[in-house]
Structure 1
Amino acid sequence: MNRFYNILIIGLLAVSCANEEDVTAGKPETFVKYYGGINSDISSDMKETSDGSYILLGTTVSEAASDEEVSKIRLIKTDVDGNVIWDRAYPDNQSGESTNNLMGRAVIEISNGYLVVGDSIYEEDNQELTNMFLLTVDQNGNTIAGKSISFDNASLHGYAVTLTDQGNYFVLATIEGNTAPENMYLAEVSSADLNVVWSQTYGIGDDANISKTIITDENNNVTWSGTTTRNGENDIRIITTPANSKNTFFDETIGLNNGKNELGFDIRRTPFGYAIIGSTNNTAAGDQDILLTRVNTNGKLLGSVTFGGSKNDTGEAITVTEDGSLLILGSTDSFGRGERDFYLIKTDMFGNPVWTENEGVDGKIFGSVNMDTGSTLLETSTGHILVLGTTEFGDVDTMVLIKTDDQGNI
């Protein structure tokens, strides 16, 4: 009965814009769309496709008859107005790509469809283990192939993927439970059969997380960012390496042993080097704020700036716009009317906010009266801003897609 009530709420909210202002009339070509059902659906990534549509990635979680949770990769293709073209979950019990629980974290468009990177979760000797999982589907969502990539005596969690200059794929993962100090995994995977061409490990510390984006340059060098944990302190880490090499151009830890917790979640290339978005607890109130960190092409710190209020605010994703600005997606407890809302910030390349019309808020706040958490964002080919996130209705999570105008208005 509780789930039915939540579904009814979702259906009612899906037909209106849940913004901090009264936006029921809306603006042309902007929208708020919910994609959910009786299961929890948690968003993770999206891309604009070559045909002008959008591909959305998430994980759908349901309860089996045994009261155990079952998770599947969920892919949704929509048109420019957010209307569903197709909606698929994997494994689909037909193709045999995997019978394990699957989780999706990153998606890209490839020559014959789409490639998803995430996790395949299974039990062995009463222990839960994880392999990195690759899934390819065609333009209609039909499974082409699935592949698990394992790491000896450890779990591998897939986070990011991009194309190589030869048409293969770079994939990035974290290593959990490695007996050696390395906790980051980079590999090139063949586009023909998803087999690993080469792999290298990086990183050192007690634990690590990595960014949702891999950056490559004209020489096929690879850059990523993330968070490394040493002695209970979290610091931002950025690495640039040649393909298939342990000899990195640089491997920099920002703020090491300074007593502050600073986390990196996403990274983009800029004219001055790189912009990293994340969070920090180095605030006067002791809460979390959104942290924008700028480094040069050698990974050296150029400067940083924070955004947020008196409560917890986290940076989720970043992109570079056509006009040379930085567009940041965060989640905020400090502003808005809900338990947590989306926080959209536009700055110049130095981190100076562009949208300052609301006193005390360096950006746009929107969301429902429930818990709204951002996942990723992009600027579309038409100049609109697309935000993907998750809204929690009671005990049910639902994917939400928001399209704003070029000024962040719905």
Structure 2
Amino acid sequence: MKNYFFIAFFFILKLGCEEDYQDNSPPSIYIDSPTDGTTVSEITSIKCIATDNDSVKNVELWIDSSATGLIDSVSPYEFLWDTRSYSDSSIHIMMAVAEDMNNNFSSSDEVRLIVDNTNSNPSLITIESISYSLTNMIITFEKSKDDDFSSYELLRSQTNTSEKNSILNISNINDTIINISDFNPLDSTWYWIKTKDIYGYESIGSGYLVIDIPPSISTLESINFTDSLFILNWSQNQDVDFESYTLNESIFSDMLNPLQIFQGNNSEITFFNRSVVQNQYLYYQIIVRDDWGLQSYSNIKVGCSWYLFNELYGESGFQYGRGMLQTNNGDYIIVGNSSVFGDSFSNAILTKVNYKGEQIWKKDYSFSDTDRLNSFVELENGDLVLVGYSMSSTNSSKDILIIRSDSEGNIIWQHTYGGNEDEVGNSIDITSDNNFIVCGDKIDSNNGKSLCYIMKVNENGEEYWSDEIGGEQNDHGYSIITTSDGGSAISGMTRSSGNISGDAWILKLNNDGIIEWSKSYGGNGSESGRKIIETNDNCYLIVGSSDSFGSGDNDAYLIKIDSQGNQLWSETYGGGGTDHGRFVMQTVDQGYIISGYSDSIGESNNFDFWLFKVDPLGVIEWQRSYNSDGNDRAFSGMQTLDGGYAIAGYGSLNSTTPPDLKIIKTDDQGLTN
């Protein structure tokens, strides 16, 4: 019984002693990682080691002497510190505070950490391409290379600076192609890829603008004219959203009031043949349209249905064009001479070219050492009667040469006319009785001076009569026409009447060659009348040259006189150099076209073909100079059947090459291209 009491007493005593015992020993703690001086970023793991003689209740993380509220009660003690709110390169003091079960506390040694999040954001992702069709848009972008990748997000906005709207999210790092159907490429839209990492960091790559641009431009090529067709070609459009070509035509160079002449949906069909009438300019443009309704406009090309050319015709040696006519079928025939050595030892030539400027045939006529043709007429049956000169076989003087050929240049007959002195035929016309009258020059055997020489022959070349007209000085007959009263008129130059330097000279003859009147025109210098025509109002117009009037050394000279030779008006044309008028013709609008050559009109310092148009009073409407590197001289011209103009003479490629026969065919404004 006592033993039980003792045991109970001892137990009570022992309990009393235990209640009086208090544990005041704090736990032990240190930061295991990161170590002092470490640079940390993003979400950093902090590991602590804490021990106690009893047990550790918890561990709390302190930053910069402030409790973070991060508490861990289970060993190992670990914290995730979010550094993203701290400035880069900032230094922070970290320590851990441990508490045991008896409310004893202890703190670790301080650890200094450096925060640097400059490289913490995900890598910027670039959109590589965006393509689209009518129903689908494909967006391709780079793959993220970050180990802490979380997701891609497609953003979209109407401008580069406005709020970005989220379209969709992708969590698969390998999924770098996005297909969307909600888009309109006609509206300017920006796209971005935003990347997020597992720590919540995010970055947005460069924007990619999508705005449907107009289709690639198709280029319209030069337009070829073949007979009644314009041949149009253009470059193929290679765009995937191609819808159609539209070919427009306009009479205006700026495509005002266009007419649609073709539309096609096959991108491979890039040609069209347009039926056109001759002698006009039309303008063309290709419009390319895409599936979105956007359009692009090509260059504008002009189609010319005039037959235009600027051609030289020749072989070896020298080729001179003197006179030209357009035949009844629209071809051109030119007379002149050719030579290996120049003006001496030459052949008379007759050349025919078609309306395109292509040479059809050429005839060489050789009757003596020196033969030359200056003028000709075409008969109703197509025969040609040609005049010039040939060297006499008896006395080596020049004789007038007249040839009649068929329409192909085959000689029907040929005759020479003359005596012991030189006789030259410069011009020929058909008389009112269907014979031929010729004017030219003849050397006076008494004084060696030149006289105007006229003669009339029948259809077989038999001479009816001839006459010499002139005075004691040099007088020349350059051009003769049959007049409406059945007589004839001659233009030339005289030094025997008027000024000794030379005046333009006009002779009016009756049908028998009797002079009705003779007049000279000019000033104190030298004038000549190279070509005469009868105008529609029964007056006469003469073109030549003058150095008495005008602004240059020599100017083209135009005189209008009435039927009695009274001067109505005169005009000069040219620049500061030498300008010659050699041919004139009344045009269908009652104005006049004049051709010749000039070294003061245009850009060349050499003589160039010259063509100008004047109104009925001689006021110039336009003029053209056809520049070349050689010396060119035009002696003949005309208004052609199509309303354009043609001029002929001779020219060369440059100053060192011999001349060739030259023809220029223009439109109604004197243009050749």
Does TM, normalized by the shorter one, top 0.5?
yes
Aligned match of 1:22: none
The 8 Å contact of residues 182 and 202 in structure 1, kept in 2 or not, is answered as no
Query: C-alpha distance in 2, partners of 1:145/1:161?
Result: 17
How far, CA to CA, are the matches of 1:190 and 1:85 in structure 2? 27
After TM superposition, give the deviation of residue 165 of structure 1 in Å. 3.4
> What per-residue deviation string (whole Å, max 9, x for no partner) do you get for residues 372-394 of structure 1?
11111010111111111111258
Alignment-mate amino acid for residue 265 of structure 1: Y
The Cα offsets for residues 94-152 of structure 1, whole Å up to 9 and x where unpaired, read as xxxx433211001111225111111111259xx94101011111110011111100104
Distance in 2, Cα, partners of 1:170 & 1:112: 18
Aligned 1:267-286 pairs, distance under 5 A: 267-270=480-483, 271=485, 273-283=487-497, 285-286=499-500
2:340 is aligned, of 122, 126, 142, to 122
Number of the residue aligned with 1:135: 351
The answer to whether the 8 Å contact 1:205/1:230 transfers is no
Report the residue type matching 2:321 in the other structure: G
Q: Which amino acid aligns with 2:535?
A: T
Counterpart amino acid of residue 114 in structure 1: Y
Counterparts of 1:148-163 in structure 2, within 5 Å, are 148-152=364-368, 154-163=369-378
Report if the CA contact (8 A) 2:599-2:605 is conserved: yes
Q: Tell me the equivalent position of 1:7.
A: none
- Once residues 572 and 279 of structure 2 are traced to their aligned partners in structure 1, the CA distance between those partners, rounded to angstroms, is 27
Q: Does 1:101 align with 2:318?
A: yes
Matches for 1:176-215 after TM superposition, within 5 Å: 176=391, 178-179=393-394, 183-192=399-408, 194-212=409-427, 214-215=428-429
- Higher relative contact order, chain-length normalized (CA < 8 Å, sep 6+): 1
Q: Which amino acid aligns with 1:313?
A: E
1:182, 1:201 within 8 Å by CA — same for their partners in 2? Answer: no
Partner residue of 1:235 out of 435, 451, 466? 451
Q: Hey, what's the Cα distance between the residues in 2 that align with 1:109 and 1:286?
A: 38
Residue 89 (structure 1) aligned to one of 312, 320, 326? 312
Letter in 1 for 2:312: A
**Helix, strand or coil at the partner of 2:567:** coil
Aligned counterpart, 1:170: 385
Counterpart-to-counterpart distance in 2, 1:217 and 1:303: 19
What SS does structure 2 have at the residue aligned with 1:407?
Answer: coil
Give structure 2 stretches of 5+ with no counterpart. 1-277, 281-303, 621-673
- 1:291-310 to 2 correspondence within 5 Å? 291-310=505-524
Letter in 1 for 2:508: R
1:254–1:301 Cα contact (<8 Å) kept? no
Distance 1:238 1:310, change over 3 A: same
Quick one: distance in 2 between partners of 1:284 and 1:226?
20
Distance, in Å, in 2 between the alignment partners of 1:294 and 1:351 is 8
1:207 maps to a residue whose letter is: D
SS in structure 1 of the partner of residue 556 of structure 2: strand
Contact 1:372 1:392 in 2 (8 A): yes
Say whether the 8 Å CA contact 1:155–1:177 is kept in structure 2: no
After superposition, what is the alpha-carbon deviation per residue over 1:34-79, rounded to whole angstroms, capped at 9, x for unaligned? xxxxxxxxxxxxxxxxx889xxxxxxxxxxxxxxxxxxxxxxxxx9
Distance 1:336 1:245, change over 3 A: closer
Aligned equivalent of 1:32: none
Q: Counterpart amino acid of 2:607?
A: D
CA contact (8 A) 2:436 2:457 kept: yes
Q: What do the CA deviations read for 1:193-237 (whole angstroms, capped 9, x no partner)?
A: x2211111112342233223x211465411111111123121111
Residues 297 and 285 of structure 1: CA distance in aligned 2, closer, same or farther (over 3 Å): closer
User: 2:476 maps to which residue?
Assistant: 263
CA–CA distance in 1 between the matches of 2:498 and 2:414?
A: 43
Matched with 1:320 is 534
Q: CA deviation at 1:282?
A: 2.2
The 5 Å alignment of 1:351-370 reads 351-355=565-569, 363-370=570-577
Q: Amino acid of the residue matched to residue 197 of structure 1? A: I
CA displacement at 1:395 relative to structure 2:
5.5
1:283, distance to aligned residue in structure 2 (A): 4.6
Residue-by-residue CA offset, 1:218-277 (whole Å, 9 max, x unaligned): 65411111111123121111111112243x22211123xx42322110011121611111
Partner of 1:332: 546
In 2, the alpha carbon distance for the partners of 1:176 and 1:341 equals: 33
Distance 1:114 1:235 in 2: 32
Query: Match of 1:44?
Result: none
Cα distance in structure 2, aligned partners of 1:284 and 1:211: 23
Corresponding residue number in structure 1 for 2:612: 402
Aligned mates of 2:437, 2:411 — CA distance in 1: 19
Q: Distance in 2 between matches of 1:326 and 1:269?
A: 12
Are 1:200 and 1:244, in contact at CA under 8 Å, matched by a contact in 2? no
Distance 1:263 1:205 in 2: 19
Deviation beyond 4 Å, 4+ runs, structure 1: none
CA–CA distance in 2 between the matches of 1:265 and 1:280? 11
- Contact 1:252–1:300 (CA under 8 A) maintained in structure 2: no
Distance in 2 (CA, whole Å) between partners of 1:313 and 1:199 is 34
In 1: Cα distance, 2:347 partner to 2:459 partner:
22
Aligned counterpart, 1:388? 595
Deviates more, 1:131-140 or 1:160-169: 160-169
Gaps of 5+ in 1: 1-50, 54-78, 92-97, 356-362
Rounded Cα–Cα distance in structure 2 between residues aligned with 1:284 and 1:223: 26
Contact 2:344-2:370 within 8 A present in 1 as well: no
Q: Say whether the 8 Å CA contact 2:398–2:423 is kept in structure 1.
A: no
- The range that moved more, 381-390 or 215-224, is 215-224
Q: State the one-letter code of the partner of 2:378.
A: L
Q: Measure the CA separation in 2 of the matches of 1:187 and 1:285.
A: 37
State the TM-score, normalizing by the size of structure 1.
0.71
CA contact (8 A) 1:164 1:220 kept: no
Distance 1:107 1:311 in 2: 30
AA paired with 1:251?
Answer: S
Aligned residue for 2:250?
A: none
* TM-score normalised over the length of structure 2: 0.44
Would the alpha carbon gap of residues 157 and 240 (structure 1) be closer, same or farther in structure 2, given more than 3 Å must change? same
Q: d(CA) in 2 for partners of 1:308 and 1:252?
A: 25
Q: Does 1:290 align with 2:507?
A: no
* Residue of structure 2 in register with 1:38 after alignment: none
For 1:298, the aligned partner's letter is D
- In structure 1, the residue matched to 2:582 is 375
Is the partner of 2:550 in helix, strand or coil? coil
Q: 2:464 aligned with 1:249, yes or no?
A: yes
SS at 1:102's partner residue? Answer: strand
Amino acid at match of 2:587: T
3-state SS of paired residue (2:316): coil
